[in-house]
């Protein structure tokens, strides 16, 4: 008998064969959402190779502040060093591998491993390792760095040795849209972690369409349900909403031009750092995600003089979506926990000088998206149960699900590209 001491490399060929069975415009085969072997490949080919949104600068404002994030079994710490620079490291001790930080957020003077107390500076250098022989190369035992890219205050990490290079092109397009919301002058007003009972791709697919938005009564007070539809695709029952949207869009474009804010739709969802960006109106007063569309925060972001700026909607592949209003920004990161569990971290950012209880009330600020997230989690859980059922067959997307197809096509393309490396 031969004993194998190493794990065989995961072979992606069978996943490519499975993806080949998907006709364009149809949902993925059930195994893509429920088979642990697909999940392993997703972790290796997507989560450990692509740029992943992990949070914003408001989560790490001061020297020593960190956030940590788990991408499957790989954990990353994003830390602001003593010189105020942001760095990202593997959350793994260079001695015998213990996890270093276990909290999602915190503040440290140095990073001290809880096991044998190896101590790292906030820039990752090994400062102290008790009883390590003088011959040991301490300089080579700093924390392993991870690629980190800030885009107008939004933080992306990439675990690949050579990350997809197009982040620079995307940053050039995205930054001028986000910059007026001045994320570097915001603070976290609230953050929720919701574990959805579904595969991460179901979480993302659900986010990429408003076909199900009847299920979001609170959101529909301010969010136009014709999101993502071309004029000719708008169904009769949504015609009145769409006419209101078109009028409001004209008004929003004029306001944006007055302030020099970019607003045009830019969509390039197929590239490695796929994204979609658009400043769009909100319904009612057009200011924020409240029941009547009026602002939820008295103090506006940055130097914005006008509250009626709708929402800047940004989607990034594979794991994030954002809504930036004049009064607050909401960021959403979807992160894989297991093959059928996905963490959705939602963060509400307000002006750093906004005062809770005076300028905003956390319950009101967060009400719409807390309700919407719970509703989405229920849709995702039901879908996970269905796609794991032997009775499931992939079904056709409607005209309202072009962004879902774009997401699935992105996934398909990345798996093929990365498997070929």
Chain residues binding ligand 3BY by CB under 6 A are 207, 210, 227, 313, 321
Among 57, 113, 190, 234, binds ligand FES (CB under 6 A): 113
| Residue 329, helix vs strand vs coil | strand
Nearer to ligand 3BY, 255 or 323 (CB): 323
Give the span between the Cα atoms of 44 and 38, in whole angstroms: 10
157 is a contact residue toward ligand FES (CB under 6 A): no
Q: Order of strands across the sheet with 275-280?
A: 186-196, 341-351, 329-338, 320-324, 311-316, 275-280, 266-268
Nearer to ligand FES by Cβ, of 43 and 76: the residue is 76
Say which residues have a Cβ less than 8 Å from residue 164's Cβ, sequence separation at least 6.
49, 50, 51, 158, 272, 273
List, in sequence order, every residue forming a beta bridge with 92; answer none if it has no partner. 99
Give whichever of 139 and 240 is closer to ligand FES, judged by the CB atom: 139
Rounded least distance, CB 369 to ligand 3BY, Å: 9
Nearer to ligand FES, 143 or 167 (CB): 143
Contact 189, 356 (CB under 8 A): yes
Query: Minimum Å distance from CB 159 to ligand 3BY?
Result: 26
What is the Cα 222 distance to its own chain's centre?
22
- Out of 24, 116, 128, 254, name the contact with ligand FES by CB under 6 A: 116
**Residue whose CB is less far from ligand 3BY, 227 or 392:** 227
- b/e map 291-304, b = 16+ CB within 10 Å: eebebbbebbbeeb
Q: Of the listed pieces 63-71, 92-100, 296-304, 334-342, which binds ligand FES according to CB under 6 A?
A: 92-100
Among 96, 144, 172, 239, binds ligand FES (CB under 6 A): 96
Relative to beta strand 320-324, strand 329-338 is antiparallel
98 binds, among ligand FES, ligand 3BY, none (CB under 5 to 8 A by kind): ligand FES
3-class DSSP state of 240: helix
Among 41, 67, 77, 93, binds ligand FES (CB under 6 A): 93
Near ligand FES by CB under 6 A, which window of 69-77, 114-122, 222-230, 243-251? 114-122
Length of the chain: 421
For residue 263, what are the contacts with CB-CB under 8 A and spacing of at least 6? Answer: 252, 253, 256, 257, 278, 279
| Shortest distance in whole angstroms from residue 139 CB to ligand FES | 17
Residue 126 is a binding residue for ligand FES (CB under 6 A): no
24 binds, among ligand FES, ligand 3BY, none (CB under 5 to 8 A by kind): none
Instruction: Report if residue 99 touches ligand FES, rule: CB under 6 A.
Output: no
CB of 132 to ligand FES, least distance (A): 10
Choosing among ligand 3BY, ligand FES, none, which partner's interface includes residue 93 (Cβ < 5 to 8 Å by kind)? ligand FES
SS3 (DSSP) at 74: strand
Q: Are 227 and 207 in contact (CB under 8 A)?
A: no
* Residue 411 neighbours by CB distance under 10 Å: 21
8 A C-beta contact, residue 199 and residue 384: yes
Determine if 125 is a binding residue for ligand FES (CB under 6 A).
no
Element (DSSP H or E) covering residue 367? helix 362-387
Least distance in Å: CB of 91 to ligand FES?
A: 11
Q: Which does 187 bind (CB under 5 to 8 A by kind): ligand FES, ligand 3BY, none?
A: none
Question: In which residue are the tokens 């879908």 written?
Answer: 383
Please report how close the Cβ of residue 113 comes to ligand FES at its closest, in angstroms: 3
Report the residue number, 276 or 351, with the smaller CB distance to ligand 3BY. 276
Residue 120 sits in the site that holds ligand FES (CB under 6 A): no
Residue from 75, 98, 191, 192 touching ligand FES (CB under 6 A): that is: 98
CA angle 302, 321, 404 (to 5 degrees): 150
Q: How far is the CB of 92 from ligand 3BY (least distance, A)?
A: 34
Both structure tokens of 210: 């408003």
The structure tokens listed for 57 are 């600068």
Which option in ligand 3BY, ligand FES, none does residue 321 bind, with CB closer than 5 to 8 A by kind?
ligand 3BY
Pick 115 or 258: Cβ nearer ligand FES: 115
DSSP 44: I
Q: How far is the CB of 120 from ligand 3BY (least distance, A)?
A: 38
Please state, as a whole number, how many other Cβ atoms lie within 10 Å of the Cβ of residue 187: 15
- Whether the Cβ atoms of residue 155 and residue 335 lie closer than 8 Å to each other: no
Sign of the CA dihedral running 272, 53, 79, 185: positive
Least Å from the CB of residue 136 to ligand FES? 13
Interaction site with ligand FES (CB under 6 A):
93, 95-98, 113, 115-118
């Amino acid at each position: 008998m031969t004993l194998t001491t190493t794990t065989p490399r995961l072979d992606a060929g069978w996943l490519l064969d499975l993806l080949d069975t998907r006709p364009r415009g149809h949902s993925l085969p059930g195994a893509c959402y429920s088979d642990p072997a697909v999940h392993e490949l997703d972790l290796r080919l997507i989560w450990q190779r692509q740029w992943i949104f992990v949070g914003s600068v408001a989560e790490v404002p001061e020297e020593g502040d960190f956030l940590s994030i788990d991408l499957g079994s790989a954990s990353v710490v994003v830390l602001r060093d003593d010189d105020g620079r942001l760095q990202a490291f593997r959350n793994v001790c260079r001695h015998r591998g213990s996890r270093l930080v276990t909290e999602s957020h915190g503040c440290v003077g140095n990073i001290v491993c809880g096991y044998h107390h190896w101590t790292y500076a906030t820039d990752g250098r090994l400062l102290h390792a008790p009883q390590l022989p003088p011959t040991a190369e301490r300089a080579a035992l700093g924390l392993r760095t991870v690629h980190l890219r800030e885009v107008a205050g939004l933080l992306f990490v990439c675990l690949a040795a050579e990350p997809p290079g197009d982040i620079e092109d995307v940053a050039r397009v995205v930054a001028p849209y986000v910059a007026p919301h001045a994320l570097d002058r915001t603070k976290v007003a609230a953050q929720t972690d919701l574990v959805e009972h579904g595969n991460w791709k179901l979480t993302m697919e659900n986010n990429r369409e408003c076909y199900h938005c009847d299920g979001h009564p609170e959101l529909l007070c301010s969010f136009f349900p014709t999101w993502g539809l071309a004029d000719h695709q708008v169904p009769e029952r949504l015609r009145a909403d769409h006419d209101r949207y078109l009028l409001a869009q004209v008004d929003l474009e004029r306001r944006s031009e007055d302030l020099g804010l970019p607003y045009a739709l830019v969509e390039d969802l197929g590239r490695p750092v796929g994204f979609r960006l658009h400043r769009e109106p909100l319904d009612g007063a057009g200011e924020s995600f409240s029941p009547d569309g009026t602002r939820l925060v008295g103090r506006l972001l940055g130097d914005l003089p006008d509250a009626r700026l709708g929402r800047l909607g940004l989607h990034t592949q594979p794991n994030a979506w954002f809504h930036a209003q004049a009064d607050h920004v909401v960021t959403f990161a979807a992160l894989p926990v297991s093959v059928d569990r996905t963490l959705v971290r939602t963060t509400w950012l307000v002006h750093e000088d906004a005062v809770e209880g005076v300028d905003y009330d956390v319950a009101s600020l967060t009400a719409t998206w807390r309700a919407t997230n719970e509703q989405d989690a229920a849709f995702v859980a039901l879908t996970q149960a269905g796609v794991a059922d032997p009775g499931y067959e992939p079904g056709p997307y409607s005209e309202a699900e072009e962004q879902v197809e774009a997401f699935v096509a992105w996934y398909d393309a990345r798996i093929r590209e990365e498997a070929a490396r």
